[in-house]
Structure 1
Amino acid sequence: MARTLWSAFATAMTAWAVATSAIAGGVYDEGASDTEIKIGNTNPYSGPASAYGIVGKVEEAYFQMINEQGGVNGRKINFITYDDAYSPPKTVEQTRKLVESDGVLAIFSGLGTAPSLAVRKYLNSKQIPQIFVSSGSAKFGDYRSFPWSMGHQTNFLTEGRIFADYILSEHPNAKVGILYQNDDVGKELLQGLKDGLSTKQSMIVAEISYELAEPTIDSHVVKIRSAGADVFVNFSLPKAAAQAIRKIAEMNWKPVQIVSKVSSSVGSVMKPAGLDNAESVISASYAKDFNDSKWKDDPAMRAYSAFMDKYLPGSDKSNSLAIYGYFISENLVKVLKQCGDNLTRANLMKQAASMKDVELSLLLPGIKVNTSPTDFYPLEQLQLMRLQRGEWKLFGPIMQARAEN
């Protein structure tokens, strides 16, 4: 009898020890363990959108820094990033590899609207977090239909509406010409602008799309000028945006120029276009600008500068894409810390959807990250800015004109 009681006691103690060990070590889904958090990513390191490759490089370097500092709750981030050349079929291939071969916990900051939409249904069917998609598409805020996908940037509809508000306020009699990329990025920006203009859409005298693979967009710019436009809205990716700014200067045309924030980088857009040519171009941002002297002594900007010197020496610190890669990585680390020892995919999404007034070091003062189970738009504010002597100068109030869920 005593032996039976002892045996039962020993069995119970063993079960308790196993349970205690599991609790102490954490609760995990594939891709996480006591020592590692495996995060997947796709980025265009080659191809027509390769200017965005710096985002992935900064993310990789940021996680290297975090690992050297001890990781997240004692776990190292294993960041696996593949080149998809901004090609949706390639994104599908690489994402399947990340999920089915590499066994990542989540896909983070997949870059580009069309590439990320190409894998959204697949990732949601697998219940794999598609967290902080590097796209401004409002489609990545559709928490009802795609609860495993969340964007990060201010969405394109909001951005388009904010530019419309500026045009109506400052140029109420304008003749507006629009160049936009023929994909979800350009179409959403265009829709936001039109929504913002509302009953004043007759101001639009030209709207011309271009294909990403087109070697030059010069002929489109000529057509927009011929339509009589005096406000040129440039909803292009970096290469085409730079070409358009340069072509406008070559024609000695002097319209008011507005460029989407995705192509506001001084390093990869304005310098190739020619800083003199880009003088007075208007855009919008939510982040501090490395070139703006007002941030020279800002502790966060100093930390970013030191980071770039150490981990990506020789890279252009002023590139807004590099700054974006830095603070989106910072945000992921904050969410992973919130997860504690519960590194399941469900908890990762729960924590991502529970951010309240989160301040990231390189966001503009007053712009904060907020999410909820019914709000998958982490950033919803922008401030207008104008390029002056190679530096973006902020003007006006912080603006918010978010799209409806």
Structure 2
Amino acid sequence: MSPRRRAADRARAGRVALALAVVAAVLLAAGCGSRLPESDFERRDGRDPGPRTAEPVKVGIITSATSPVGGSAFTGPRDGARAYFDRLNERGGLRGRKVEVVTCDDGGSGVGSNECVQRLVRKEKVFALVAGASLDYAGAPQVAKAGVPDIGGQPVGPAYDTYPHLYGIYGSLAPRDGGDPGWDGRLYGGTEVYRYFKREQGARRAAVVSYNQSASAAYARLVSRGLKKEGYEVVTEQVDFALPNFRAVAADLRAQKVDLVFDAMDTHGNAQLCEAIDEAKVKLTAKVTNVQNWSSAVPDEYKNSPRCRNALWATGSSRNYADTRHPEVRAFRAAMKRTEAGKKQLSQWQLEGWAAAMWFSDAARSCGDRLTRACVERYMERDKPYTARGLLLPVSFEKRSKPPEARRTCLSVARWRDREGWVGQGGDMDRNCFTVPQLGYRP
């Protein structure tokens, strides 16, 4: 391999590992442009025309549809939200007003993020942003300055724990005053995932696999810290991104007799690791992944590793998209089947995008005939936690002055089975709860 090619691969490694590490780390907390005048959305005399005008309510969705981590890595929330709004419009919209969706692909870059914010906020004059998923949400300060509600976005980075008017899909207890993220630059996440596998599955020894890249290694250290806090014996493994030796890792996992495997890698790296694990005949209680990889694409992504594939477990803060016993899950799946994206695959991020669109719609309905941003934000910041009719674990925005030392935290857990798909584990997510310590980290 030429030095130039190797350098390019390492640059890509940095971007990929950074993206995946930040996604997973922030999920542990589950965690230019002037203000647009309200007169753009209500009459100067204080009267709102409401449904009589039938003027559509315009919302924007910013997605890294093209990015260094792959074309479909971030599109799930957008696709789920669009499916919800399509069904809503078929049923009459918001008090007679259709929801007009304007999308923007930021290309996974900070420059693209700023351009999308400029286009949607200034040119399109969207009322709100919904279900965003950006690799680099550099435009977040502009959104906050413009006072545009951003509802149900994926916290790929610290923006949703930093700025006012931003409401991530998993909620936030942080002050969000536009200064440092979280509390003095530190975010906090719990150890409930590790507690679950220790208490419910009897796991005692865990491995954490990462790339030899700073962000990936930093996330691996965070996972290791949480595991040790819960009393695990921890084995750390690191591979070179350009020339990873997963066979050596798998051999060591077998020799160390690990129960669980966590990682700070992309899907491709995980698939290679699983192949090596199968070749080495490593017996695992679980190969644990996160909500971003919780999809029906598992058979294709892990086609060469049937044993490891059937040891895949996913954890998150939303109801399993495969739980067809729940009426809202059935509604989501029926709507997605009518879309091109849903015909290809279903995913947990699609369900969370659906829930984000529902959240915005419920907030808008609470305003009656007088739809304003201030009214929508009052709904978002109300005392009653939001659950999207049972699709989300209770979400709130409290703006605590100090971070919690411990919290009672619930989680949704599923395991992949080839003949059944993602099968829920641990009972209903609303009762699969633990009181766990909150560990601080710098994003």
TM-score by length of 1: 0.74
The answer as to whether partners of 2:61 and 2:104 remain within 8 angstroms in 1 is yes
State yes or no: 1:330 paired with 2:353: no
Distance 1:361 1:180 in 2: 39
Distance 1:175 1:192 in 2: 10
The CA deviation at 1:338 is 1.8
SS at match of 1:90: helix
Could you tell me which residue of structure 1 aligns to residue 169 of structure 2? Answer: 152
Q: Choose from 290, 302, 313 the match for 1:273.
A: 302
Q: Which runs of no fewer than 5 residues in structure 2 stay unpaired?
A: 1-41, 173-186
Distance 1:102 1:121 in 2: 18
The CA deviation at 1:342 is 4.0
Distance 1:93 1:221 in 2: 43
Structure 1 pair 182–129 and aligned structure 2 pair: CA distance change class (3 A): farther
Q: Please list, as runs of the form range in 1=range in 2, the aligned pairs for 1:5-404 lying within 5 A after superposition.
A: 22-25=46-49, 35-47=55-67, 48-51=69-72, 52-112=74-134, 114-116=135-137, 118-135=138-155, 140-142=160-162, 146-153=163-170, 161-169=191-199, 170=201, 173-179=204-210, 191=222, 194-195=225-226, 197-198=228-229, 200=231, 203-206=233-236, 208=238, 218-219=244-245, 222-223=248-249, 226=252, 228=256, 230=258, 231-274=260-303, 276-292=307-323, 295-296=324-325, 298-312=326-340, 315-316=343-344, 318-354=346-382, 356-361=384-389, 363=391, 367-372=393-398, 374=400, 381-389=410-418, 390-395=421-426, 397-399=431-433, 401=436, 403=438
Structure 1 pair 224–349 and aligned structure 2 pair: CA distance change class (3 A): farther
The CA deviation at 1:109 is 1.9
Structure 1 pair 321–160 and aligned structure 2 pair: CA distance change class (3 A): same
Same amino acid, percent of matched pairs: 18
Distance 2:226 2:155 in 1: 20
Distance 1:58 1:181 in 2: 34
The one-letter code matched in structure 2 to 1:53 is: T
Distance 2:223 2:157 in 1: 11
What are the Cα deviations for residues 342-396 of structure 1, in whole angstroms up to 9, with x where unaligned?
A: 43333332221126243424627xx3334446599xx963133332333323126
Structure 1 pair 168–127 and aligned structure 2 pair: CA distance change class (3 A): same
SS at match of 2:382: coil
Structure 1 pair 149–385 and aligned structure 2 pair: CA distance change class (3 A): same
Distance 2:215 2:165 in 1: 20
The answer as to whether partners of 1:37 and 1:78 remain within 8 angstroms in 2 is yes
Distance 1:217 1:121 in 2: 38
The one-letter code matched in structure 2 to 1:368 is: P
The CA deviation at 1:80 is 0.9
The one-letter code matched in structure 1 to 2:144 is: N
Distance 1:341 1:184 in 2: 47
The CA deviation at 1:152 is 0.8
Structure 1 pair 313–176 and aligned structure 2 pair: CA distance change class (3 A): closer
SS at match of 1:310: coil
Greater share of helix residues, 1 or 2?
A: 1
The answer as to whether partners of 1:160 and 1:189 remain within 8 angstroms in 2 is no
The answer as to whether partners of 1:259 and 1:282 remain within 8 angstroms in 2 is yes
The alignment yields a C-alpha RMSD, in angstroms, of: 4.0
SS at match of 1:39: strand
SS at match of 1:121: helix
Deviates more, 1:261-270 or 1:185-194: 185-194
The answer as to whether partners of 2:246 and 2:272 remain within 8 angstroms in 1 is no
Q: Answer with 1 or 2: which has the greater Rg.
A: 1
Distance 1:240 1:100 in 2: 40
SS at match of 2:143: helix
Distance 1:115 1:268 in 2: 25
Could you tell me which residue of structure 1 aligns to residue 17 of structure 2? Answer: none
Q: Which runs of no fewer than 5 residues in structure 1 stay unpaired?
A: 1-17, 27-32
The CA deviation at 1:182 is 6.0
Structure 1 pair 209–380 and aligned structure 2 pair: CA distance change class (3 A): farther
What are the Cα deviations for residues 207-242 of structure 1, in whole angstroms up to 9, with x where unaligned?
A: 5488xxx6x784367447547472310344444434
Structure 1 pair 229–176 and aligned structure 2 pair: CA distance change class (3 A): farther
SS at match of 1:177: strand
The CA deviation at 1:59 is 1.6
Distance 1:181 1:66 in 2: 46
What are the Cα deviations for residues 306-353 of structure 1, in whole angstroms up to 9, with x where unaligned?
A: 312334486146432322222222122111212334433333322211
Could you tell me which residue of structure 2 aligns to residue 4 of structure 1? Answer: none
